[in-house]
């Protein structure tokens, strides 16, 4: 899944021959799951039609301050459009438009929207080589970058004039990946690897039966998603659940039993910065697993159970640089029990949920938690969606990482 998914993207197209490639840019943004609106300068319509762009973007294309309906002129609001955008790309950006952007000369809808936009602005110049080299163009590029706008440099190659040199607009794929990696690098967890365990484990009794629990895996799934959205590489080790992610930064490792989860967690722990163990791991498993289906015979059946390995505690014993986060699900003496677990398992943070709180714990989509950190500082949160609890966990992690 692209980092651009769900983003509102404004694409400004100016009057250069490279405008024909802007259709591909729209297509790539839409494919990445973004919402796209296009602004054309009036002269750009000589190079590409609004119909092509409105069809690809599935939105009306704007090229002037007003649009004529049957009897009335309707005002196109550049301020609203500028605020709607999560990012603004101007591609191709001609020397003329670059100079207007740099000097604030808003004599068309595109530049007026540029001046109103509060979002990150990317621009991909396209022009002949001598225009690209000209001191006024160089000055515009520098001025725009000093405003915080992001240059996607032109490349070298054959130009529309027949000359060969620097000035070709970067290719659509390169423009889109430039934007994606720029966004990613700005994210707060970029460069961090986070291991997340989620869901229940199933402990086999025989080939068709198991001991399990009611964990849905949603809490861990939301944590994995939130970490990936913030730019982390996520190793998501999950017991059997209905949740699956196609996020490109989440590597999913499905497991079934506590022993499989233990093995996978230990295979990755040394390479991660943070481990968040939210799985509801079975504490006991059958001592002997029948190799064929157990037939009903007697009126009672006894199973001998033995302890599983405590994955979280085993990490607490070997952790070096990692931040270790555990969960505690309690029914009584909640805070005291959670503090005991925090200390015994050598954690940096424990997320306590009490089964006495309505809406907390297994099953539902909400949770009510209290954080206890290694200095025993407590923060109690109100009932929230599990997605919002995941955000709170990420904020706490960022505090610890940046401390």
Q: Smallest gap, in angstroms, from Cβ of residue 246 to ligand CTP?
A: 25
Residue 132 or 262 with smaller CB distance to ligand CTP: 262
Beta bridge partners of 266: none
CB of 326 to ligand CTP, least distance (A): 4
Give the span between the Cα atoms of 257 and 321, in whole angstroms: 28
The verdict on whether 332 is a catalytic residue reads no
Residues with Cβ within 8 Å of residue 53, at least 6 apart in sequence:
13, 22, 23, 26, 38, 40, 61
Which residue ranges make up the site for ligand CTP (CB under 6 A)?
197, 258, 277, 279, 281, 283, 308, 310-312, 326-329, 341
Rounded least distance, CB 283 to ligand CTP, Å: 5
Q: Decide whether 32 or 277 has the Cβ nearer to ligand CTP.
A: 277
Nearer to ligand CTP, 132 or 269 (CB): 269
Q: Which tokens hold the place of 363?
A: 């099953």
| Cα four-point dihedral sign 77, 55, 182, 122 | negative
**Closer residue to ligand CTP (CB): 186 or 333:** 333
Q: How would DSSP label each residue in 60-106? A: --B-SSEEE-SS-EEE--HHHHHHH-SEEEEEEE-HHHHHHHHHT--
Exactly one of 59, 77, 213, 346 is catalytic; which is it? Answer: 213
Contact 4, 119 (CB under 8 A): no
Say if residues 10 and 88 touch (Cβ distance below 8 Å). yes
Q: In 200-328, which ranges are continuous DSSP H helix?
A: 218-229, 258-269, 311-318
Name the nearest CA neighbour of 164 among 130, 209, 190. 130
How near is the Cβ of 327 to ligand CTP at its closest, in Å? 4
Q: Please report how close the Cβ of residue 171 comes to ligand CTP at its closest, in angstroms.
A: 46
Q: How far is the CB of 329 from ligand CTP (least distance, A)?
A: 5
Q: Which secondary structure element, helix H or strand E, spans residue 205, and what is its range?
A: strand 203-206
How far apart CA 200 and CA 215 sit, in angstroms, is 5
Nearer Cβ to ligand CTP, position 144 or 258? 258
Which of residues 281 and 372 has its CB atom nearest to ligand CTP in the complex? 281
Collect all residues with Cβ–Cβ distance below 8 Å to 297 and sequence separation of at least 6.
none
| Catalytically active residues, by annotation | 213
């Amino acid at each position: 899944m692209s980092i651009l998914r769900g983003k509102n993207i404004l694409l400004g197209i100016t009057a250069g021959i490279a405008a024909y490639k802007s259709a591909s840019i729209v297509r790539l943004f839409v494919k990445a799951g973004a919402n796209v609106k296009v602004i054309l300068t009036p002269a750009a319509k000589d190079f590409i039609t609004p119909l092509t762009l409105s069809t690809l973007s599935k939105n009306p294309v704007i090229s002037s301050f007003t649009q004529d309906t049957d009897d009335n002129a309707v005002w196109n609001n550049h301020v609203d459009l500028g605020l709607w955008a999560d990012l603004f790309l101007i591609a191709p950006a001609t020397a003329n438009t670059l100079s207007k952007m740099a000097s604030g000369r808003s004599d068309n809808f595109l530049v007026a929207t540029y001046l109103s936009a509060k979002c990150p602005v990317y621009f991909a110049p396209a022009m002949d080589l001598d225009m690209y080299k000209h001191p006024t163009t160089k000055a515009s590029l520098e001025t725009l970058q000093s405003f915080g706008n992001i240059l996607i440099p032109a490349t070298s190659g054959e130009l529309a004039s027949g000359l060969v040199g620097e000035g070709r607009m970067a290719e659509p794929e390169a423009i889109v990946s430039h934007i994606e990696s720029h966004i990613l690098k700005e994210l707060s967890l970029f460069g961090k690897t986070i291991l997340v365990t989620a869901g229940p484990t199933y402990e086999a009794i025989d080939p068709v039966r198991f001991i399990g629990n009611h964990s849905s895996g949603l809490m861990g799934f939301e944590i994995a998603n939130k970490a990936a959205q913030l730019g982390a590489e996520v190793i998501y080790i999950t017991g059997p659940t209905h949740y699956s992610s196609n996020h490109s930064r989440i590597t999913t490792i499905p497991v079934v039993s506590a022993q499989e989860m233990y093995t996978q967690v230990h295979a990755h722990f040394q390479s991660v910065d943070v481990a968040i163990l939210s799985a509801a791991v079975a504490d006991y498993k059958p001592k002997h697993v029948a190799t064929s289906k157990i037939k009903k015979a007697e009126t009672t059946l006894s199973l001998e159970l033995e302890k599983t390995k405590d994955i979280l505690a085993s990490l607490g014993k070997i952790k070096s640089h990692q931040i270790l986060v555990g969960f505690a699900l309690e029914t009584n003496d909640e805070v005291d029990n959670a503090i005991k677990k925090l200390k015994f398992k050598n954690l940096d943070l424990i997320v306590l949920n009490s089964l006495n709180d309505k809406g907390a714990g297994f099953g539902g989509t909400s949770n009510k938690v209290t954080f206890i950190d290694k200095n025993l500082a407590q923060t109690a949160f109100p009932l929230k969606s599990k997605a919002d609890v995941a955000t709170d966990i990420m904020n706490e992690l960022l505090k610890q990482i940046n401390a």
